[in-house]
């Protein structure tokens, strides 16, 4: 209950702040921005205080006091104009918004519940297909932040600073520390951020779409995205005398691991993953990034399209939102920078000669505030991580269709058509529209399309020629922002085409086929994720984690194997020497030396006790993973002779040994 009240305090204060500062915004947009501001402050204020008093309950109460103090300048700087009323038009918008939000939130809350270490009847923790790999990283970050000193250290790689954007996890830590269970904290905060993402994109489409129904189409094209991969599912094959039918393929989709038509890199080169199932649910960094990116776009883009001057207070708030993004999600922050740069250049190019300085000044204010707030994060975290590895920034055309830079797997346009589907063509075709003959100025809709495309396609161009992480697949986190920005234009164009076919008897059949092509792949993916169920942690793993939390010092150091499903780091929040390479390599770490040291210790602890002193190891963990590891052969009897056993589960499956003081001095 305390956690809910604490969250409500931030959300209500955020709404009051936007009411004071931006009363001339429509009520729905104003409330949405207030909720987003409350979440941003909830993420940031406890972290800022943690540099002084660690990430403790004290930091949270100081954060609440700071929130109250921030109300004073908002009151002093308030816009004294009368607020726009919640009129009948807003009520209709609210009904339309809820009609879309309710079913998607039912889906999202269910997936968050089943995918965020769902407690099972046998005492184990279960996850879904998409969270089997990623979730334990976020669990480790979340649990390790409890009472941690800042700058935050990386609990998965002893001695390294946490450069991974962690604010999407620290908000779950806050809920966890204020009384929620770990599964509830992860699912609750994940559902909250998904709600804000849905609302933010619908409100953006509502302001940008020009044809009736386009905002709904654009909304579903984004969140239920899927290309033409379903054709592979619906095609039977005969290979080496073995017949595979459509029903066999459907069974594989529903039972296989990553066999859906939106995420099947091999053999079909399908990489345009469904945003709900494969991004917002498992990738909390992107989820948090979009939670704050969409308020930025709602503040920035619609006034540009309406040729309105940005309100000064709105520009300041935009700069604050943007400046807080690097430790939420670096790709979303980069996408916002690129879009802003492209839109700024278009605005300057299209402005009258005597108006260019006046046009540039709002961009300068917004950019200056964002730079002042973001540069400390970039210099202290992002740039350090990127420059310590040669695998981050590098040239590679067409990202994951050009695997390892060894040549395109599919022809360029076919790769995008089969992955994104018909929306890809609907994005490209409106760009070829020309200004009507004899008309000096561009029509408003064409000007809007070109303005948005100038920023969105700059994102697209950069993502097509540079990789920003060791995992080339991750460039899609930039391309999805291009996609979301272009969909209102594509939806308008689709409905314009439909209206032009009004004399064609079969146009409803064509429309139905269009919708099937757009949403069938996503439907199969959502259905698969709905039924996906995998055990991540056994009851004995949870028992072990509970013992460690209650009987070992916080942030104590353990030596374990490098399994990604590790109850020591993920459930108990303790620091380990070296986690899975699937986490650390993609964050710029070379784990080969540390893994060799861990292997040497487990194989011959007598000859490698200096490792315990070198790293200050306090406990040794032995489980089925360490016994079955293929990169070392554990000498468990030697460990038993050297170190006292302080805990073991029934049958000795999981064991914890304490390292005596003499080995650590």
572 pLDDT tier (thresholds 50, 70, 90): very high
Token readout for 431 is 């760009």
Does residue 549 surpass a pLDDT of 90?
yes
From the number of C-beta atoms within 10 Å of its C-beta (0-12, 13-18, 19+), residue 517 rates as: middle
Average pLDDT estimate for 352-361 = 86
Q: What is the pTM of this model?
A: 0.95
Average pLDDT estimate for 298-304 = 95
How many other CB atoms are there within 10 angstroms of residue 606's CB atom? 11
- Phi/psi of residue 80, each to 5°? -85, 0
- Pick from 232-241, 248-257, 513-522, 620-629: least confident: 232-241
Q: What is the DSSP string of 31-89?
A: HHHHHHHHHHHHHHHHHHHHHHH-SSHHHHHHHHHHHHHHHHHHHHT---SPPPP--HH
- How many Å apart are CA 233 and CA 261, to the nearest integer? 7
Token readout for 33 is 């921005």
The predicted-structure confidence for 180-222, as pLDDT tens digits, reads as follows: 999 999 999 999 999 999 999 999 999 999 998 999 999 999 9
Q: Would you state the pLDDT for residue 387?
A: 58
The predicted-structure confidence for 34-88, as pLDDT tens digits, reads as follows: 999 999 999 999 999 999 999 999 999 999 999 999 999 999 999 999 999 999 9
Does residue 660 surpass a pLDDT of 70?
yes
Does residue 240 surpass a pLDDT of 80?
no
Average pLDDT estimate for 223-229 = 93
Element (H, E) at 123: none
Q: Would you state the pLDDT for residue 584?
A: 85
DSSP state of 309: P
How many other CB atoms are there within 10 angstroms of residue 607's CB atom? 11
- How many Å apart are CA 120 and CA 501, to the nearest integer? 53
Q: Would you state the pLDDT for residue 565?
A: 94
Which of 664, 587, 555, 576 shows the shortest CA–CA distance to 623?
576
Which of 141, 182, 146 shows the shortest CA–CA distance to 160?
141
Q: Would you state the pLDDT for residue 391?
A: 61
Give me the CATH topology for the region 538-663. Answer: Rossmann fold (3.40.50)
The predicted-structure confidence for 372-414, as pLDDT tens digits, reads as follows: 999 999 888 877 665 555 566 788 899 889 888 889 999 999 9
Q: What percent of the chain has pLDDT over 90?
A: 78
Provide the pairing of β-strand 619-622 with 557-559. Answer: parallel
Does residue 259 surpass a pLDDT of 80?
yes
Does residue 558 surpass a pLDDT of 70?
yes
User: SS3 of 654, please?
Assistant: coil
User: Which residues partner with 576 through β-bridges?
Assistant: 558
How many other CB atoms are there within 10 angstroms of residue 492's CB atom? 24
Chain centre to alpha carbon of residue 332: 9
Cis status of the peptide bond prior to 151, with omega within 30 of 0:
yes
């Amino acid at each position: 209950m305390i956690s809910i009240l604490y969250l409500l305090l931030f959300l209500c204060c955020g709404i009051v702040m936007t009411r004071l500062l931006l009363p001339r915004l429509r009520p729905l947009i104003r409330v949405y921005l207030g909720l987003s501001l409350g979440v941003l402050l909830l993420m940031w204020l406890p972290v800022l205080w943690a540099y002084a008093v660690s990430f403790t309950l004290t930091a949270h109460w100081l954060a609440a006091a700071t929130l109250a103090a921030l109300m004073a300048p908002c009151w002093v700087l308030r816009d004294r104009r009368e607020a726009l009323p919640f009129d009948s038009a807003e009520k209709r918008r609210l009904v339309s918004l809820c009609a879309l939000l309710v079913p998607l939130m039912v889906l999202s809350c269910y997936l968050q519940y089943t995918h965020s270490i769902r407690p099972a009847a046998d005492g184990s923790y279960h996850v879904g297909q998409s969270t089997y790999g990623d979730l334990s990283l976020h669990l480790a970050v979340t649990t390790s932040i409890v009472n941690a000193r800042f700058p935050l250290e990386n609990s998965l790689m002893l001695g390294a600073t946490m450069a991974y954007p962690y604010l999407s996890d620290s908000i779950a830590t806050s809920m966890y520390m204020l009384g929620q269970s770990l599964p509830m904290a992860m699912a609750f905060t994940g559902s909250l951020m998904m709600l804000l993402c849905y609302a933010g994109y619908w409100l953006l489409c509502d302001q940008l779409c020009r044809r009736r129904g386009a905002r709904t189409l654009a909304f579903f094209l984004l969140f239920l995205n899927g290309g033409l991969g379903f054709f592979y599912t619906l095609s039977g094959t005969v290979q080496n005398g073995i017949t595979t039918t459509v029903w066999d393929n459907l069974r594989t989709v529903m039972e296989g691991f990553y066999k859906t038509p939106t995420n099947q890199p091999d053999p079909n080169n399908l990489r345009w993953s469904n945003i709900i199932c494969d991004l917002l649910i498992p990738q909390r960094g992107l989820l948090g990034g979009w939670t704050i990116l969409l308020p930025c776009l709602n503040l920035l883009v619609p006034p540009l399209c309406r040729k309105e001057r940005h309100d000064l207070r709105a520009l300041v708030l935009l700069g604050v939102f943007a400046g807080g993004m690097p430790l939420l999600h670096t790709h979303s922050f980069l996408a916002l920078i690129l879009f802003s740069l492209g839109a700024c250049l278009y605005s300057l190019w299209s402005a009258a000669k005597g108006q260019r300085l006046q046009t540039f000044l709002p961009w300068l204010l917004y950019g200056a505030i964002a730079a002042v707030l973001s540069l400390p994060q970039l210099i202290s975290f992002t740039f350090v991580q990127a420059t310590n590895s040669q695998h981050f920034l590098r040239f590679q055309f067409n990202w994951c269709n050009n695997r390892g830079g060894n040549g395109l797997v599919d022809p360029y346009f076919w790769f995008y058509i089969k992955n994104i589907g018909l929306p890809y063509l609907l994005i490209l075709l409106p760009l070829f529209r020309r200004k009507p003959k004899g008309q000096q100025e561009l029509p408003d809709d064409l000007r809007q399309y070109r303005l948005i495309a100038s920023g969105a396609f700059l994102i697209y161009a950069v993502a097509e020629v540079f990789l920003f992480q060791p995992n080339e697949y991750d460039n899609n986190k930039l391309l999805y922002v291009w996609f979301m920005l272009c969909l209102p234009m594509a939806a308008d164009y689709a409905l314009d085409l439909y209206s032009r076919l009004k004399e064609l008897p079969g146009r409803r059949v064509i429309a139905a086929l269009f919708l099937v092509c757009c949403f069938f792949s996503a439907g199969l993916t959502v259905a698969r994720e709905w039924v996906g169920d995998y055990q991540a942690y056994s009851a004995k793993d949870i028992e072990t984690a509970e013992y460690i939390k209650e009987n070992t010092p916080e942030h104590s150091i353990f030596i374990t194997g490098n399994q990604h499903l590790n109850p020591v780091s993920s459930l108990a929040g303790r620091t380990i020497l070296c986690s899975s390479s699937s986490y650390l390599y993609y964050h710029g770490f070379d784990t080969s030396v540390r893994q060799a040291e861990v292997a040497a210790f487990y194989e011959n602890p007598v000859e490698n006790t200096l490792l315990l002193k070198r790293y200050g190891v306090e406990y040794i963990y032995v489980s089925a993973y360490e016994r079955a590891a293929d990169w070392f052969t554990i000498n468990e009897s030697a460990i038993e002779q050297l170190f006292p056993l302080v805990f073991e589960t029934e049958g000795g499956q999981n064991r914890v040994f304490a390292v005596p003081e003499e080995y650590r001095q």
